[in-house]
């Protein structure tokens, strides 16, 4: 699992022309992004795909569960 908590939407970050301008688009809200799976490293542009065991399975249902709980 991978996650990030940012003061920007994904769209705003992708549309930003330079990272030093992010303070100008910062929002008071926190956007939580949760990724339950990530594909292994590889570069099909100028090299091979990741090994089969590191590929995200296609046409298969994937299940993932987690709990966010306050720590006392």
Residue 63 to residue 2: CA distance in whole angstroms: 15
pLDDT at res. 44: 62
pLDDT at res. 29: 95
Of 33, 37, 29, 23, the closest CA to residue 7 belongs to 29
CB of 55 closer than 8 Å to CB of 42: no
How many secondary structure helices (H) and strands (E) does the chain include?
2, 2
**pLDDT tens track of the chain, all 72 residues?**
788 899 999 898 888 888 888 888 899 999 998 888 877 676 666 677 778 887 888 898 888 888 889 998
């Amino acid at each position: 699992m991978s996650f990030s908590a940012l003061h920007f939407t994904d769209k705003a970050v992708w549309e930003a022309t330079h990272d030093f301008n992010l303070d100008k688009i910062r929002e008071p809200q926190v956007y939580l992004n949760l990724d339950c799976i990530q594909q292994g490293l590889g570069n099909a542009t100028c090299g091979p795909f990741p090994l089969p065991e590191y590929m995200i399975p296609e046409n298969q249902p994937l299940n993932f569960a987690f709990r966010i709980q306050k720590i006392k």
